[in-house]
């Protein structure tokens, strides 16, 4: 335990430093910055590569603090705010579009996996803070990426009425063509019969 309980450590905007933060040191943390999407490999896989649509920087803001508990050791909290614009493919018209993600979340940091899981499964805590484990080597980069992946829409889509009608038509034609091809590819029973006759 660090003796400087009242000190606040400022986090640098540097992926390497953010990969290992000592959250069990007893100090509080404060930081903000903007990181390239390429330092988040799992998130990079979810976006479309199109020269006209580029992901913005991932903006992050973090603060931690302690709250006294009656008859217990203080609980450690973490606030994480994230904002990014990501190019995704609209599932209706198959064209790329920009999705804005803005996530604002509070977490409670527990010492052990067991405590964190017990908090997550307690129904009384639904809609409240999520639980994380406050290790000596807490990986904020993973936490940011997990949160952004969870914030992606289940089905990526333009807003209502925002798909271009000509793109929707193209998709409809493509689907129709696809089904015709399947029919043509089916073996013709009469052709098989002709083949048998010739043998
Ligand atoms: Zn669309």
Neighbours of 192 (CB within 10 A): 10
160 Cα–ligand 1 center, Å: 9
pLDDT of 126 reads 67
91 Cα–ligand 1 center, Å: 7
Report strand pairing: 96-110 vs 72-89: antiparallel
53 Cα–ligand 1 center, Å: 14
Instruction: For residue 4, name the pLDDT band (cuts at 50, 70, 90).
Output: very low
73-114: pLDDT as tens digits:
889 999 999 999 999 999 999 999 999 999 999 999 999 999
User: Measured over all CA atoms, what is the biggest interatomic distance in the chain, rounded to whole angstroms?
Assistant: 94
* Chain centroid offset of residue 182 CA: 36
pLDDT of 6 reads 65
pLDDT of 27 reads 95
pLDDT of 51 reads 82
pLDDT of 3 reads 46
Residues near ligand 1 ion, CB 5 Å cutoff: 90, 92-93, 158, 163
23 close to 30: Cβ distance less than 8 angstroms: no
Residue of 148, 104, 136, 149 whose CA lies nearest to 19: 136
Which residue bears the tokens 């089904």? 179
How far from 121 is each of 79, 106, 124, 127, CA to CA, in Å?
Answer: 20, 17, 9, 12
Q: What is the mean pLDDT of residues 34-56?
A: 94
Rounded distance between C-alpha atoms, residue 33 and residue 190, angstroms: 69
How far from 161 is each of 92, 93, 164, CA to CA, in Å?
Answer: 11, 11, 8
Sign of CA dihedral 149, 154, 158, 159: negative
* Chain centroid offset of residue 156 CA: 13
| Average pLDDT over the chain, rounded to an integer | 88
Which residue bears the tokens 């920009």? 98
pTM recorded for the entire structure:
0.81
170 Cα–ligand 1 center, Å: 12
Q: Helices marked H in the chain — which ranges?
A: 15-18, 41-44, 113-121, 140-151, 165-185, 189-198
Instruction: For residue 186, name the pLDDT band (cuts at 50, 70, 90).
Output: low
């Amino acid at each position: 335990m660090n003796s400087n309980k009242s000190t606040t450590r400022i986090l640098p905007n540097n992926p390497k430093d953010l990969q290992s933060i000592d959250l069990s040191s007893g100090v509080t943390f404060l930081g903000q910055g903007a990181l390239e999407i390429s330092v988040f490999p799992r998130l990079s896989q979810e976006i479309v590569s199109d020269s006209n649509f580029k992901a913005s920087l991932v903006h992050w803001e973090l603060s931690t603090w302690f709250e006294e508990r009656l008859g217990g050791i203080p609980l450690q909290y973490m606030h994480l705010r994230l904002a990014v614009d990501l190019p995704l493919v609209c599932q209706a018209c198959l064209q790329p579009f920009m999705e804005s993600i803005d996530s604002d979340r509070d977490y409670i940091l527990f010492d052990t996996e067991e405590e964190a899981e017990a908090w997550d499964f307690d129904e009384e805590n639904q809609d409240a803070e999520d639980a994380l484990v406050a290790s000596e080597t807490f990986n904020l980069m993973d936490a940011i990426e997990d949160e952004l992946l969870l914030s992606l829409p289940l089905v990526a889509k333009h807003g209502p009425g925002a798909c271009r009608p000509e793109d929707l038509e193209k998709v409809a034609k493509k689907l129709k063509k696809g089904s015709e091809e399947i029919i043509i590819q089916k073996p013709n029973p009469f052709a098989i019969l002709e083949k048998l006759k010739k043998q």
